[in-house]
Amino acid sequence: MSNQGESPMQANAVVAQPVNKRFKGLWSNYNYVIIFLVIFIAFLIINGSETSWTSITNIFLHSAILGTISLGMGLVIMTGDIDLSVGSSFVFIGGLTIIIYNVTGSIFVTLLFAIAAGLLCGALNGVLVGRFKMPSFIVTLASMLIFRSVSQYMMNEMGETRYRVEAGMESYKSLFGFGNGNILTIPQLAVVFWIVAAAMIYMTTCMKFGKNIYAIGSNERAAKLAGVNVIWTRIKVFAISGALVGLAAFLKIAKDTSFDPATSGKNFELYAIASVVIGGISMSGGKGRIAGIIFGTMAFTIIDKIITALGMNALLNDTVKGLILLVAVGLQMIQKREK
Amino acid sequence: MELLKMTNISKSFFGVTVLDNVTLEVGRGEVHALIGENGAGKSTLMNILAGVHASDSGNIIFNGKELVHNSIKGAESAGIAFVHQELNIFNNLRVYENLFLGKEPVNSFGKLKKKEMISETFKLMHDLGVDIDPLELADNLDTGKKQLLEIAKTLHRDAELFILDEPTTALNNAEIKNLFEIVGRLKAIGKSFIFISHKMPEIFKISDKYTVLRNGKFIKSGNIREISPEAITRYMVGESYSNQEMYEERKLGDTILELKSFSGKGFYDVDFSIRSGEIVGFTGLQGAGSSEVLQTVFGVLEPQGGQLFVHGKEIKNNSIQNAMKNKVAMVAANRKENSILQDMTILENTYISEHTINNRQQHIFKNKEIKKYSDLKDTLNIKANSHNDPITSLSGGNQQKVILARWLNTRADIILFDNPTQGIDVGAKSEIYRLILNLSKAGKTIIINTLEIPEIQKIADRCVVFYHGRISVALKRQEINEETVMLHATNAINATGINTEVENVQSR
């Protein structure tokens, strides 16, 4: 090749490098936003002229409940643990909470109960993992089995097939209204989710407790020797995860007014883990941002809508979700390797 | 003819030049010391040789052939074996399994030849003169033994050139002696070594030639017999180095920490007290119990008897958090495992412990933290770009200074240093001694546990020598010298007959 031919190519390379570098920086920090945008644009294209503001706010609405659970899962994963019990405790607490509502008729007491019950279930996992050093995978696998089974058994003893809110209650309308109403066309449940997410973002970025979570996920032994109370932090993280599951159960009651112990919240632990991973949080702990989870869950929710829009068999839902999870993690791995 | 000739090697990472036209020549049957401070480019040069990184320019001729498009596999098959500083031992495997990992001999049915592997491991360990059972789980070995296993893994390979990157950091004197004997034996049959170490006596004991690097540049190379340790050190650190006496007589305060027949995991009946502003060196062979004493005072390990007084108050139910409240801090041994939060920034690493002390106020005032960090950065002379960089972007010495900043941030009065200069170059080491002296002048009380007696000689008011979990002797400053300390550390002083053996070890 002649010299004349080479020089323009070199000039190109010099210009291309910074752009390429800037893109890489953008990608490594915000890949969850980019993955979300790609899926979102695919959704817009597939929906075409049928796209409306409602179809977009529906994404917000339908990611609120799973999103709330995923926030807790994100915290647990950031410490390097895992919580497999969230789907089951979602149903378990949901069932109990409906019973409490049907007895008291008070929305406030019901909300308080849901959160407190979740906190307790989570703290139980946390004590076993933190204080007794049992592996979180096993502890939460066990509580996953226990919670759903107890919920189904209770249902069976009551001679029913579903936990149902009694429609005759005085406050029924306001409860249902809360679960299905909008503020400025935005679904209220989505607003609740965003507020909780904002609180979690504050906690992990601006609070000392949040830094302890990253420290434990980063290097547990070093965190301990630096004075971090590892046991207590673990218990708190699982308790928060549980409380968020309780809140999610309350949101679901307000939205759907019933819980089916056999099917509600099924595979939620896996969907939550998937949302967290698509949100860019590392399964080995110590890395990632809570903000990613908001995008991760929305990306995951849109997949459902795309499948419906394409008129595909709903049974293929999980196939597509699984494939997207693989692609998302694959892209993140490529970036990691290049580092 | 040379075995290895690396010419004009240059390498930069992200625009920062790490190696600039470096040349290295190693002959057959030669031990070549590669000398330089941390960050001088030694590791990068060796990684290029071993095919971990590709150089930007320059060429490598090994065994008469040029290594082009070098890769780890390519370098290995050419006959280059690299003993890394970091241990790559699998704790869940047995010693012989670690040794044969990835190249297990199998019979025609694919079944492992277990007996053969075990007996070969046994023979190798015997040659090395180390007492490691081939069937032992690697997890049960102490750090020194693990390091020997790591070395054995490489020596086991049939290579022409062995790269030993700080192989002796966790070894005791007898183990070092064995290692050097093996190096000598392999040298006699024409094998070559590149030896990276920060310990001058070792360099002068086994090397034939040396090459000094500084800031990524080639500085000097020659025969080790034609140069003095002082001259090498000067080449290493440039003009800034001065070997002046650091120690100063200081006025000491009242007793601040006291142990009365204190016992715990690995130590018994320790009676010890230290006055405010004093610097005491702890030393002993690996496993003599001195590190465990510090860990128990700091609340990591549980005491098993006796009493502990801090500021005149007896401490019961000790925990790390309690120790911190009583203004005790510990810079732990083995920085990578015990101190570094590798996913976090320099600022976060500096503040993690302060957060525990002031955990009532949960909000982080980041601007305040940045301001205080930049003060600490200046005081400790931490070389870092942004406080938002990951701590792993720093060199070992600067990482250790960040850990020191972490503890100064807690306003501790008593600072326990457990082997603080491990894997740190000479320049950073003397900076850390100076910092320790300045801290003591500011009234901090310091215990420094180290295997390197010259460190204690430089800065300590007293030296406490441990042997088998008990205090063997407490020496005043005037009495501290390597020979006396070794006599007590090996208990040779109480065992006539072993005396001669110890002297042999020392005279080598």
β strands within B73-191, DSSP E? 80-83, 161-165
Contact B352 A209 (CB under 8 A): no
User: What DSSP line would sit under B31-91, residue for residue?
Assistant: EEEEE--TTSSHHHHHHHHTTSS--SEEEEEETTEE--S--HHHHHHHTEEEE-SS----T
User: Which residues, given as ranges, of chain B have pLDDT below 50?
Assistant: 241-243, 496-508
Whether A216 has a pLDDT exceeding 50, the answer reads: yes
Contact B356 A229 (CB under 8 A): yes
Domain ranges of chain B: 1-79+159-238, 89-157, 252-327+413-497, 337-411
Two tokens, residue A79: 């410490």
Task: Give how far A210 is from chain B: nearest CA, Å.
Answer: 9
Which residues, including other chains, have CB under 8 Å from residue B300's CB and lie 6 or more apart? Answer: A224, A225, B320, B330
Contact A207 B364 (CB under 8 A): yes
A280 reaches B (C-beta below 8 A): no
Two tokens, residue B208: 């034939």
State residue B368's pLDDT score: 93
State residue B491's pLDDT score: 72
List the Cα angle A259/A261/A266 in 5-degree steps: 95
- The closest alpha carbon to A43, from A298, A328, A326, belongs to A298
Pairing relationship of beta strands B57-62 and B65-66 according to DSSP bridges: antiparallel
Contact A211 B357 (CB under 8 A): no
Two tokens, residue B194: 């590149």
B357 reaches A (C-beta below 8 A): yes
* Chain B residue at shortest CA distance from A202: B363
Contact A218 B342 (CB under 8 A): yes
Q: Is-contact B172 B16, C-beta < 8 A?
A: no
Residue B344 has its nearest CB partner, among A208, A215, A224, at: A215
Contact A208 B364 (CB under 8 A): yes
Q: Is-contact B424 B400, C-beta < 8 A?
A: yes
Length in residues, chain B: 508
CA distance B82 to B61: 17
Task: Give how far B332 is from chain A: nearest CA, Å.
Answer: 8
CA distance B161 to B145: 23
A28 reaches B (C-beta below 8 A): no
DSSP classification of residue B196: E
Q: A208, A213, A229: which to substitute to probe chain B, counting the most B Cβ within 10 Å? A: A208
Q: B327, B341, B358: which to substitute to probe chain A, counting the most A Cβ within 10 Å? A: B341
Task: Give how far A296 is from chain B: nearest CA, Å.
Answer: 22
Pairing relationship of beta strands B313-314 and B303-310 according to DSSP bridges: antiparallel
A232 reaches B (C-beta below 8 A): no
> B252-327+413-497 has which CATH code?
3.40.50.300
What are the backbone dihedrals phi and psi of residue B384, each rounded to the nearest 5 degrees, phi first?
-145, 150
* Chain A residue at shortest CA distance from B300: A225
B418: which chain A residues are within 8 Å (Cβ-Cβ)?
none
Give contacts of B 276-335 with A, CB under 8 A. Answer: 300, 320-321, 324, 330, 332
Structural domains in chain A, sorted by start: 34-39+53-338 (1.10.3470)
Residue B343 has its nearest CB partner, among A206, A218, A226, at: A218
Give contacts of B 380-439 with A, CB under 8 A. Answer: 406, 410
* Chain B residue at shortest CA distance from A18: B14
Contact B344 A218 (CB under 8 A): yes
Contact B348 A214 (CB under 8 A): yes
Task: Give how far B417 is from chain A: nearest CA, Å.
Answer: 13
Residue with tokens 């607003």: A191
CATH architecture type of domain B1-79+159-238: 3-Layer(aba) Sandwich (3.40)
Residue B54: C-alpha distances to residues A18, B75, B165, B393, B394 (Å) = 22, 12, 19, 20, 22
* Chain B residue at shortest CA distance from A216: B341
The pLDDT > 70 percentage for chain A reads 91
Provide the β-strand partners of residue B62: B4, B65
Angle, helices B173-188/B499-507, rounded to nearest 10 degrees: 50
A215: which chain B residues are within 8 Å (Cβ-Cβ)?
341, 344, 348, 352
Reading phi first (left if > 0) and then psi (alpha if -120 to 50, else beta), residue A285 is in left
Contact A208 B342 (CB under 8 A): no
b/e string for A106-137 if b means 16 or more Cβ within 10 A?
A: ebeebbebbbebbbebbbbbbbbbbeeeeebe
Which ipTM score applies to this complex? 0.86
State residue B240's pLDDT score: 52
State residue A16's pLDDT score: 43
Two tokens, residue A13: 């390379």
Residue B355 has its nearest CB partner, among A208, A217, A287, at: A208
B348: which chain A residues are within 8 Å (Cβ-Cβ)?
211, 214-215
- The closest alpha carbon to A236, from A107, A152, A319, A122, belongs to A122
A223: which chain B residues are within 8 Å (Cβ-Cβ)?
341, 352
State residue A213's pLDDT score: 97
Contact A208 B324 (CB under 8 A): no
Q: B355, B368, B419: which to substitute to probe chain A, counting the most A Cβ within 10 Å? A: B355
Residue A215 has its nearest CB partner, among B352, B358, B410, at: B352
B348 reaches A (C-beta below 8 A): yes
Domains B1-79+159-238 and B252-327+413-497 share a fold: yes
Whether A24 has a pLDDT exceeding 60, the answer reads: yes
Type of residue found at B56 = D
pLDDT tens column, A111-170:
999 999 999 999 999 999 999 999 999 999 999 999 999 999 998 888 888 889 888 888
Contact B338 A222 (CB under 8 A): yes
B320: which chain A residues are within 8 Å (Cβ-Cβ)?
224-225, 227
Task: Give how far B317 is from chain A: nearest CA, Å.
Answer: 15
